[in-house]
Structure 1
Amino acid sequence: MFRSFLSSSFRSVAKRASPSQGVRGNGLLKQRSARFYQAEAPKRTPEEIAKRTNRTFFVVFGGGSLLSLGYVGAVAANVTQAPGVTEEEAEQMEPMERVSKIWKFAHDLVFEPYKEKLLPDFQEFLFGGGPVPQDFNAPPTLVLDLDETMVHTEWSRSRGHRTMKRQNLDAFLQHISQMYEVVVYAPVINTYGEAVVNQLEGIEMPDPFNPNPPPVNPKNYITHRLYRESTKYEDGVYKKDISRLNRDLRKVIVIDDSDKESEMAKDNRILVKPFTGGRDSTFMELVPILEHLHQVAMRGGDVR
């Protein structure tokens, strides 16, 4: 059985904390205090109670409304913070139009990918803004999901977190990265995604107590990494929006185990069975398919 386990940085030991011994309260003191407050509390009529309730509601609701108006006004005054809005345009906007712009901006921050172009221009990334050879032909882009596609992470009380690589993953990445621009695009939080991808690339976590750390020689199989902030949140699912990859979609291939997460890439995806451990031949079966699609893309064809 081929199983590769990532380093111990992913393992956590379950600690059982013993419950703290609280100080037992004095029941007699509590009873006396209750009797004292019951005896001293003035009796109010229903009318007085209603007036007091209305007054409290008015103060809370009115104060909250004023604060809300103040916040909206402050936000509307800074409508130029929204992308695509100049100071001249902001001065000509009506107040509600300003609020609408800011509301859309806030909505997009939560539900949309954090920027329009998730990847840099390929020529600029490769040549640093220098001259591009006339015969340059950009390679196709391979988008890989992380959890249940490349790796599987599980937790147990005895062993903590354990991340397993899908069988033949290293050989697959080494071979495919010579033909494709490899992008990890996963709806996971950044810290988890970076930890796993760094392990796949052979980048160990730095040891703060080692003054002379060993040199880092990353494998450089993966060109770009995109995580949850780069996805579109819709219908309770973080979806991969490949239209924002800034790549020619005729040369983009997506490998994913989730139908819902890759819903926006239906024409470009290859669905694989979820990996949960054990023997698996998925990557070996994908190699000849991806080799053929690479030839199609490099000849100017459409891989979809």
Structure 2
Amino acid sequence: MNTSVEVYKFAVFGGALTVMGGCMVMEMGAPRRDENGAIIEDEFSPMPIVLQYLRRTWKELTFYEKMIKEPSREKLLPDPLPAPYQPTYTLVLEFTDILVHPDWSYQTGWRFKKRPGVDQFLQQVANSDYEVVIFTSENAFMIWPVIDKLDPENKFIAYRLFRDSTHFIDGVHVKNLDGLNRDLSKVIVVDWNKQATKFHPQNALILKKWKGADDDTALLDLANLLQTIAMSNVLDVREVLTYYSQFDDPIAAFRENQRKLMEQMEEKEKENKTNNPPIASSWIRSFTRR
């Protein structure tokens, strides 16, 4: 009895799939028509009618697959502005878990929590010779209004790129920096997902994923790192990023390097004071010497 029921279920399921497949072929494989209803000839018109429908259906399915897996356009950003209006460096930022974190509660439902220091960070880097680009694997319809709230007057974020600008490979939305239309020696991409930047790992600064902690200071340290790069007029940012890519936490490594540098500067200053006393002190001693 149970066997009969199972066979019946499979038969119904198979029949439903057959009907759905047939409807899809009839819809997607039908020849196109002009405004008067006349059939428009295409490369499949000379074929037998069944083969025509199958080949058109396959072409449509391949087209939709390409739409999902490849960026919607080759050139993701417009041409750079003429000098001196174009910033020297381009900063590409993942939005989710770098600048904000999706948070849910019974009281508010879903909302995006701003990372500590995000406002100061955006202002600081935008005023430090960086063209700021949001390049996220999220959908535009969900993230666009959040970016509007973060930068309502479009003062700091120059461009916005979303999921439709990525390559979909092995379940990951990969960001191809070749499409940015910028000199890659001046492009820095900040992300938490190493796979999302695998086309250009030498341009990537991979941070730890921010999960909403209120005591986080990573963005402030990141701003200092980026400012240091800009003030140093680094010719190829990939050299700096390759160095920091060896650390699990590049921001902590930069913070430690800064601490060591300050200690060295303090030691140097002490040595200079010891070897070269202040002018005023030397002048007084020269007039009070017996």
With normalisation by structure 1, the TM-score equals: 0.59
Is residue 164–residue 277 contact of structure 1 (8 Å, CA) maintained in 2? no
Q: C-alpha distance in 1, partners of 2:29/2:100?
A: 48
* 2:78 equivalent among 95, 115, 120: 120
Question: Aligned pair 1:234/2:169, yes or no?
Answer: yes
**Structure 2 counterparts to residues 1-304 of structure 1, below 5 A:** 70-71=26-27, 73-74=29-30, 102-123=60-81, 132=82, 139-178=88-127, 179-201=129-151, 203=152, 218=153, 220-275=155-210, 276-294=212-230, 301-304=235-238
- SS of match in other structure, 2:157: coil
Tell me the CA shift for residue 273 of structure 1: 1.4
Q: 1:97 to 1:122 in 2, by over 3 A?
A: farther
Tell me the CA shift for residue 183 of structure 1: 0.3
Tell me the CA shift for residue 121 of structure 1: 1.3
Is residue 240–residue 262 contact of structure 1 (8 Å, CA) maintained in 2? yes
Tell me the CA shift for residue 138 of structure 1: 5.1
Greater CA drift, 160-169 or 218-227: 160-169
Root-mean-square deviation (CA), in Å?
3.8
Is residue 254–residue 265 contact of structure 1 (8 Å, CA) maintained in 2? no
Q: 1:158 to 1:223 in 2, by over 3 A?
A: same
Aligned residues: 218
Tell me the CA shift for residue 262 of structure 1: 2.8
Q: C-alpha distance in 2, partners of 1:259/1:251?
A: 19
Structure 2, unaligned runs of 5 or more? 1-10, 34-41, 239-290
Tell me the CA shift for residue 169 of structure 1: 1.2
**Which has a greater percent of helix?**
2
Q: C-alpha distance in 2, partners of 1:61/1:175?
A: 57
Q: 1:225 to 1:91 in 2, by over 3 A?
A: same
Q: 1:60 to 1:151 in 2, by over 3 A?
A: closer
Q: C-alpha distance in 1, partners of 2:79/2:133?
A: 14
Structure 1, unaligned runs of 5 or more? 1-53, 79-88, 124-131, 204-217
- SS of match in other structure, 1:199: helix
Q: 1:188 to 1:61 in 2, by over 3 A?
A: closer
Moved over 3 A (4+): 59-75, 89-104, 135-138
Is residue 44–residue 56 contact of structure 2 (8 Å, CA) maintained in 1? no
Tell me the CA shift for residue 158 of structure 1: 2.6
- SS of match in other structure, 1:244: helix
